Structure 1
């Protein structure tokens, strides 16, 4: 005796086994059914008469950013220049911290203005230059007495002390200032 096949004498008593299809089987869907998200689906819950709530745009304080960024560059240059002189060779890598300190007010307060990342790059390089000049000033200060000769000796000793690695640090300051300013800008 054989078991009845489905559909001839009624449903089979055997449990259904897994069936493999090369194409998904057609489900029992009502006539005219369209899946959600597909074209032709009626939109529910939308009333064009009700206004949508407006998202508040963050306020742009570009003026405050332009005021705080040079102050941050001055502070970063002073911190770099007043570091212990025995650590002067390893201080170049602090240009990343200087770039971050300058880029925070520009990016967070200024927003996504296209002029702010180049300004952040220039201010970061200026902070590095100021820090190096302050270091040279501290070295030369003991030898000179008048302010004019102090400035001349500081600049000549800074030029004499420049190395190719310093150019790499300036490149790091420029790119770091640009990229960090652009990345800290608030997204709208």
Structure 2
């Protein structure tokens, strides 16, 4: 196919009969010109940003994270223990929520420390233990005064009523606290 009008593709070194649409026109470009975006193009008008004096590096707030996790474990355990006594059998699954409450401040504020997931696992299991002891204490207090001592009788009753399902809830608390802390630390 030939060009419809002479010179439509620009000046060419070929004869007019051999000029095709597929032939790129010769551009009038200065010597050493490189198209924008190609390697070797000098970048103009760009200055690297100056380091900001007001921008501080992000510090881990480990002490604050541990304090908030202890508070969350204490409040979660007390809330677990103060739930209605008739619902005690179905409360074990709230262990996941307790582990999440403990893991959130440790993961978000504490960062990616190797110690914090293990601490969260222990705090989540401790919150479950505190909740179960609070439930036993409420039961013994409702039954009347005890001759030995309140703490001794509470621990004895707790140990006597410990079931395999309770041990599964402790395992859920340990694993949930550990994994949730690692996941929240990786997101931040």
The alignment's TM-score, normalised by the length of structure 1, stands at 0.71
| Alignment partners' CA distance in 2, 1:28 and 1:84 | 87
| Alignment partners' CA distance in 2, 1:56 and 1:120 | 28
Following superposition of structure 1 onto structure 2, how do residues 147-186 of structure 1 map, counting pairs within 5 Å? 148-185=148-185
- Listed as ranges, the gaps of 5+ residues in structure 2 are 5-21
| Alignment partners' CA distance in 2, 1:137 and 1:117 | 30
| Alignment partners' CA distance in 2, 1:28 and 1:168 | 78
Compute the displacement of 1:57 (Å). 3.0
Instruction: Tell me the equivalent position of 1:62.
Output: 62
Compute the displacement of 1:176 (Å). 1.4
Instruction: Tell me the equivalent position of 1:74.
Output: 74
| Alignment partners' CA distance in 2, 1:29 and 1:176 | 69
Compute the displacement of 1:157 (Å). 1.7
- Bigger drift between 87-96 and 105-114 goes to 105-114
Compute the displacement of 1:26 (Å). 11
Instruction: Tell me the equivalent position of 1:51.
Output: 50
The alignment's TM-score, normalised by the length of structure 2, stands at 0.71
- Bigger drift between 69-78 and 81-90 goes to 69-78
Compute the displacement of 1:129 (Å). 0.6
Q: Deviations over 1:49-100 (max 9, x none)?
A: x535476433322112222221221111110001000000100010111112
Change (3 A) 1:29 1:139: farther
Change (3 A) 1:108 1:26: farther
Compute the displacement of 1:109 (Å). 2.2
Secondary structure of 1:185's aligned partner: helix
Paired residues of 1:112 and 1:187 also in contact (CA < 8 A): no
Compute the displacement of 1:135 (Å). 0.8
Instruction: Tell me the equivalent position of 1:114.
Output: 114
- CA radius of gyration, larger in: 2
Q: Deviations over 1:118-145 (max 9, x none)?
A: 1111100000011011111112222443
- Listed as ranges, the gaps of 5+ residues in structure 1 are 1-5, 12-24
- Bigger drift between 127-136 and 152-161 goes to 152-161
Aligned length: 166
